[in-house]
Amino acid sequence: MFQGIVHFIDQLIIKVSAREEEFDDVPLVISDSLQQSLESYCEIEVMKDNNAYSCDSCGKVTAHRCTKFGTLPPILHFSLLRFAYDNVEGRKKILTEMQFPISDALDMLQYMESTFILND
């Protein structure tokens, strides 16, 4: 009832690879709204320099990585990551108030793998 599937998608110059993983909850970093946190969770990350993608056939290459949902459970559970780590202060609690959609339904279509388009 609470389990879904998330896809981690990597795009290299010559290929696209995807890894599928089951999830019970979605860990979200606190921001001003649930929508912003979901956008951050699914945003495209450029992997280059020290964080370059390691490809078996082509070595270290620049790649783009994103997370998209494959299937969603009937009940979607979010875990809010209320602590951040700072090299100076150590663990720090995030006190930002977060807005949740109450009157509107949460539209998850834009975060689904079926709507995945990566241009670059």
Question: What residue spans define the domains of the chain?
Answer: 4-113
Q: pTM of the full predicted structure?
A: 0.76
CATH for 4-113 is 3.90.70.10
Q: Contact, 92 vs 84, CB < 8 A?
A: yes
Q: Which residue has the tokens 């299937």?
A: 71
How many other C-beta atoms lie within 10 A of the C-beta of residue 86?
Answer: 8
How many other C-beta atoms lie within 10 A of the C-beta of residue 97?
Answer: 7
**Interval 42-72: pLDDT, tens:** 998 888 888 787 777 777 878 888 889 999 9
